Amino acid sequence: MPTTIQIHPDFSWGQIDTVLLDMDGTLLDKYFDDYFWEEYVPRIFGEENRMPPEQARKELLKRYQAVESTLQWTDLDYWSEQLGLDIPELKCKVDHLIQVHPFVLDFLQFIRKSGKKIHLVTNAHSKTLEIKLRKTAIGPWFDRIVCAEEVGEAKEHPAFWDKLEGMLKYDRKRTLLADDTAKVLRSAREYEMGFLIYVARPSSRLPVHYSPEFPSIVTFDELIF
């Protein structure tokens, strides 16, 4: 369960060669995703199917939960087919809500100047990634960007990290991962990733909730030292 007590990061950058960063909720404000899936899509789905908004929302939340932590959950083509909606087009209609978290660009610049390898590692579908990179300035900072569909596993499964290591050739003991999902960090811990950081405020519209298991930050300026 989340807590109000922060476990502070305790490492030196000399211990780290590679930085792996999640996208949604970690680098980008998750408010966009929460609004899109929990409010906007249910409203459009309800209108298309002549269904009251709350009934549509409950129906879709049930469908979401059925495929949570799988590649289907983030697959825009899957949801377009399941819901009879053009999900990528709908995302573009509200893409003004896509925002980079405070201090992210400062942190990326800091990591780049320190000579570390830096990779974006996301469960997001390639079509979502394309939309978000088009709306933000983060893409050029990365040595490589990897979607879970390319790996063939969701990040919640330890097998993801074994396969990723084969692709990126990093030393897991000298690698830091920052993510806003505890289940992802647990899978990386099982894989024996060296350093794990929990992002405690993935959405700007929600309160801070620190992890009782992992060192936590609210914004990335806490890692610039």
Task: Please check whether residues 197 and 144 belong to one and the same domain.
Answer: yes
Domain edge (last residue) among 96, 115, 137: 96
Sequence-distant (6+) residues with CB within 8 A of 180 are 22, 24, 25, 26, 30, 198, 199, 200, 202
Task: Please check whether residues 47 and 115 belong to one and the same domain.
Answer: no
* 60, part of any domain: yes
CATH number, domain containing residue 133: 3.40.50.1000
Domain edge (last residue) among 56, 76, 96: 96
Rounded to an integer, what distance in angstroms lies between the CA atom of residue 53 and that of residue 56? 5
Task: Please check whether residues 117 and 176 belong to one and the same domain.
Answer: yes
Q: Which among 20, 9, 27, 2 has a CA at the least distance from the CA of 202?
A: 27
* 2, part of any domain: no
Q: With the C-alpha atoms ordered 103, 133, 112, 217, is the resulting torsion angle positive or negative?
A: positive
Task: Please check whether residues 113 and 193 belong to one and the same domain.
Answer: yes
SS3 category, 122: strand
* 117, part of any domain: yes
Q: What is the per-residue pLDDT for 216? A: 98
Residue that is written with structure tokens 């084969």 in the block: 166
Q: What is the per-residue pLDDT for 155? A: 97
Sequence-distant (6+) residues with CB within 8 A of 66 are none
* 4, part of any domain: no
Task: Please check whether residues 174 and 202 belong to one and the same domain.
Answer: yes
Q: Residue 157 is part of which domain span?
A: 13-29+99-223
Domain edge (last residue) among 58, 73, 96: 96
Neighbour tally for 192: CB within 10 Å: 10
Task: Please check whether residues 125 and 199 belong to one and the same domain.
Answer: yes
- Digitized pLDDT (tens) for each residue of the chain, 225 residues in all: 767 899 999 999 999 999 999 999 999 999 999 999 999 999 999 999 999 989 999 999 999 999 998 999 999 999 999 999 999 999 999 999 999 999 999 999 999 999 999 999 999 999 999 999 999 989 999 999 999 999 999 999 999 999 999 999 999 999 999 999 999 999 999 999 999 999 999 999 999 999 999 999 999 999 999
State both tokens at 104.
């992210």
* 21, part of any domain: yes
* 158, part of any domain: yes
Q: What is the pLDDT of residues 103-119, one digit of tens each?
A: 999 999 999 999 999 99
* 177, part of any domain: yes
**Count of structural domains within the chain:** 2
